[in-house]
Structure 1
Amino acid sequence: MTEELTRIDSAVAGLSISPKDEKTEQKTEKKGKSHRRLSSSVSSSTTGVRNIKDLEKEQIPIEIAIETQKTNWKLNTAPSLLEDKEHLSKFLVTPPVKKIDLHFPLGLEVTARNLKGVTIKDALDAIYKQYKKKADDELDGKPILAGFEWDPEEFWTKLIVHQKKESAPQPTGKKSKKKNNDAE
């Protein structure tokens, strides 16, 4: 027997290695060592995204994006249905953090996460996940997001979620001003 030994499967004895196995063997031969993904090994100092607990230790204050108060978003509707979608891509807090807890006055807490920095959309998605199955009458009379509050004396690592009864009327004055400016 001068033939080289190959893997033997009891179902197909005598066949050589499958093409899939050959490809993976060639890749590992080229690399030599196991490959670690770069995205998971990037340090937070190079990206600017911080851990909220580190900010607490260093006593670095955070600022909440003012755009969160302008959403007029109903908690049980998908954030993708919002009219002002450009606000969704902005960071929820400055400096950006990887995760932050959102605390509701009645005790519910949700966590918004994003390794590249929590955005307003990430926060709304986390809230929506909790409220999507609730009917309008189950939202304790305050179904609209009014905004977030950061109170370092109460919770350094959490934002307090504020809700309101009714959404503000849609601003129509902006459109008419634009038309008037175009006419001039």
Structure 2
Amino acid sequence: MATSPVETRGHRRASSSASGVLGATDLTEDHVLNLPKEAAKIGWKINTASSTLQEPDLLKKHLTTPPMKKIDLQLPTGLTITARNLKGVTFKDALDAIHKQYKKRADDELPEPYLAGFWHDEEDKGKAILRVALGANGPPTSSKKKGKGADKE
């Protein structure tokens, strides 16, 4: 009895996800989601595109270690947004998911229009949930940029 080609191939999407990237079911109580230090101080306006971030290199970095395929972002307003990427959720994926919810809102409609950062709460241990901190103030101004501009004059 011959086997059909469909039976021998296996599941087709196995190659679409990167190795080392965890799914929500792979996360256990032992896993701790570590965030890079840049996740605590972002200062991005949530109703603007992610490309307007002052540090464009940050967009390429994974949001968590180990990388996750899907992460729920809980905002202080009670809204939960899901960021997805089969190769691991990056900062760009998270910012784009937040922007999608707020892109049609005017500045005066948002009491806290700036993303202050992300953190993983102890009570969410073993879950792919990150808390989002919003703030009323934008990114801190750097004195280095002002100094370079003064030298060019």
What amino acid sits opposite 2:116 in the alignment?
A
Q: Where in structure 1 are there 5+ consecutive unaligned residues?
A: 1-31
- Secondary structure, counterpart of 1:121 in structure 2: helix
What amino acid sits opposite 1:147 in the alignment?
G
Q: Where in structure 2 are there 5+ consecutive unaligned residues?
A: none
| Structure 2 partner of 1:142 | 112
Quick check: 1:42 aligned with 2:36? no
Q: How many residues align?
A: 144
Work out the CA distance in 1 between the residues paired with 2:129 and 2:54.
Answer: 27
TM-score (norm 1): 0.68
- Shift, 1:65, TM fit: 2.1
Residues 102 and 160, structure 1, Cα contact 8 Å, conserved in 2? yes
Determine which of 104, 112, 115 is the counterpart of 2:86. 115
| Structure 2 partner of 1:62 | 33
What amino acid sits opposite 1:165 in the alignment?
A
- Tell me how large the CA RMSD over aligned residues is: 2.9
- Paired residues for 1:1-184 under 5 Å: 33=5, 40-42=13-15, 47-55=19-27, 57-139=28-110, 141-154=111-124, 156-173=127-144, 176=147
Identity, in percent, stands at 49
- Shift, 1:176, TM fit: 4.2
Structure 1 residue runs of 4+, over 3 Å off? 174-177
Work out the CA distance in 2 between the residues paired with 1:53 and 1:41.
Answer: 16
- Shift, 1:157, TM fit: 2.4
Work out the CA distance in 2 between the residues paired with 1:165 and 1:75.
Answer: 11
Work out the CA distance in 1 between the residues paired with 2:108 and 2:16.
Answer: 45
TM-score (norm 2): 0.80
What amino acid sits opposite 1:153 in the alignment?
E
